Structure 1
């Protein structure tokens, strides 16, 4: 049996998702073909037609997909990151990042600045910041930011801030930490002024898979062999945790609040 897998997450951790698929092969005897997605999950016809068996996916598109899918995706597990801020829980943060040389100290200082984001379907890069604006009534203003541009990725958003093409962005904390490990010189040019907590992007599987197979995959993650443990350490993953659809309800709340008010696009 060949397991068809796809990652919709940041490319700077694709090597790690590959290590997970290799661990599943070692422990379950299943060959896995892992691909990097070239489209948003909600635009992926292969996902809509239940082509994928295993998915590395953001919580927001997972929720939105499952609301309309004939066969909703099941949750396999979610990583718990090393570091005190993660509190030994499967959470992450949308870090609001500015140039370290700027005078921006708090969120309110960002009014009239240039905001960039990875894509509008992103929880950390778009949805959580939109909810931040909504919950503080900033969306009622004609425009909070002077300019809003899509960068295409968290990494490019960081580059835009460093180079002065944008003033601020909301960045996935795990992606940012991985980027700073790879390019430590970036740290001196960036500063986080606020953070928004959210459930961690999970690993999901098709409901077609046999329960016994899903359990085998979970055991691979919950009891990592030495090779997977080494990859987890390199990626700063402490462990994997069981998660349920209910754990991702906070994301649904933030998304629904904006949609109910017709607040789809940040301005």
Structure 2
């Protein structure tokens, strides 16, 4: 299978590190032009430098897409994309009874409404062309709500509902809408979360991450954290021409954490 994104313009939100940056690398390798996004100009500039694309096919947008103003400015500067990957997200454990309204609102605006606003803005032109891809990066936590991150799991479930419903709304247009559900993934954010355990045990990050998966996601079949490239591969596939019959789907890259045959 040869996946080719030549002449395709792609937006990846929250893409200065982790899964988003890995997806950007994959899209560039397949010929695309990519706009990456982070909250600050230094983080965007650093990510562009890491991508090191000599053809100059990478642009950056520094802005907070968790609010309407940030989304509006992005749309003003970049009014059209063929593929939109809604990867922006925040996570973190917090007990339900200690989670105030402000945290719920921050998670909702960041993880859910950023994708809603951008899909609403960019889908109509895709429909007019008869081709487009919208991808929501959800999580296995949207199906397997973690007791210590209920506020996070709720947003990931919401993304699944939006993805499925929007796919139905765009039926027959040539625009597909799908969700990708990573499981525990060894991104920079997870590495930061596990840093203290790495320092305490003297073990490698990969070993500590595998121990974390076995302790907290015991149903994992691969018994380790996925790499960011492994998740990015699914994002690239579902964004491709070859995935034209896949829409309204929740595609798990969770290492088998969700104990289901469906």
Common fold: TM-score over 0.5 = no
Q: Highest relative contact order (Cα 8 Å, sep 6+), 1 or 2?
A: 1
Which of the pair is proportionally richer in strand?
1
Q: TM-score, normalised by structure 2?
A: 0.31
Q: TM-score, normalised by structure 1?
A: 0.30
